[in-house]
Amino acid sequence: MGDLLGVAVLGAGHMGADHVRRLDRVVSGARVAAVADPDSDRAKEAVAGLDGATAHTETEAALDAPGVDAVLIASPGPAHEEALRAAFARGLPVLCEKPTVPESEGALRVVEAEARLRRRLAQIGFMRRYDAEYRRLKSVLDGGRLGRPLMLHCVHRNVSSPPDFTSAMLVDSSVSHEIDAARWLLGQELTAVTVLRPRASDLAPRGLQDPQFVLFETDAGALVDVEVFVNCGFGYQVRCEAVCEAGSARIGEEHTMVVTSGGEAREEVPQDYLVRFADAYDREVQAWVDATRRGRVTGPSAWDGYMASVVAEAGVRSLAGGGRVTVEPASRPALYDDCGG
């Protein structure tokens, strides 16, 4: 096992358990060395059958476990800052699920801590950058044959929301993926946001403003709109259409199977993000493992994570108070000059 990258996975819930499975069965060049979760039974269940993997209830115990070379953070967002700082203190490369830290102040502290190291250690888990359809759309836009992008139309729908989901989380949790995808696809910064409230769906829990319509402006004059609907009831759907000067390109409508039988055609609709983006997660983690074994850090940076938090917070302010809210980030450290967007 000495030739394999030993990974400590922090968090053994829905996302963490899937990453443990991925590192053990899908990704090459790595192994699970340790798992940490406050629920000791869940941590032990996650490492059951994994040769040499240890279970822990404390983050630092997992990071200090024998054979740990890198860290994958899949714990709840509020625990990320402490875990990132602990990994930085040990010089351990990190793949951290979004959000970096839920509040932009915490995300900025992470950026500043990494900048003081004068080297990147963290990659943030915006997995859409690894999705085959998103990558094709990025290639088309970068190629320039459709002319300058003018608008992005985005759809983000979930079957249902968790019991503790709030109206603000539609923006700072769900739409955070569109925030990063828009910055990456367009190579532009989001400078202002307006959140509009259509009538709430009867399928939404009482008090939840669902759906929402989010409009972003960019520093190059493009517009990005997002329909976010987290209690649509019928499936998980993510779509994006880029409208450019000389044409348009649309993704997200064919990522499914169509069954024809008995004189009718039936299209399957994924029910979960782990199904829709399974390949993207596989590519993301494999790319992180490959880069880490070469002593490199690629992919979305801690600065990208901070920008997602800053833009999302502006959106939450717009949701609460109405109207257009400008995005006002801190100055970007020189470490990230080649990482923005």
Which residues make up the CATH 3.40.50.720 domain(s) of the chain? 5-128+279-301
* pLDDT recorded at residue 2: 59
Whole-angstrom distance, CA of residue 336 vs CA of residue 121: 12
* pLDDT recorded at residue 253: 75
CATH topology of domain 5-128+279-301: Rossmann fold (3.40.50)
Whole-angstrom distance, CA of residue 87 vs CA of residue 93: 7
Q: What is the pTM of this model?
A: 0.93
Tens-digit pLDDT profile for residues 134-148: 999 999 999 999 999
Largest Cα span, the chain: 64
What is the domain class of 132-275+307-326 according to CATH? alpha beta
Whole-angstrom distance, CA of residue 130 vs CA of residue 182: 14
Q: Is residue 136 within 8 Å of residue 128, measured between CB atoms?
A: no
Which residues make up the CATH 3.30.360.10 domain(s) of the chain? 132-275+307-326
End-to-end CA distance of the chain: 36
Whole-angstrom distance, CA of residue 232 vs CA of residue 310: 27
Inform me whether the pLDDT recorded for 265 exceeds 80: no
Task: Give the single-character DSSP code of 200.
Answer: P
Q: Is residue 86 within 8 Å of residue 59, measured between CB atoms?
A: yes
Task: Give the single-character DSSP code of 173.
Answer: I
- pLDDT band at 338; cut points 50, 70, 90: confident
Q: Is 202 helix (H, G, I), strand (E, B) or coil?
A: coil
* pLDDT recorded at residue 258: 59
Inform me whether the pLDDT recorded for 13 exceeds 60: yes
| Range 278-305 average pLDDT | 96
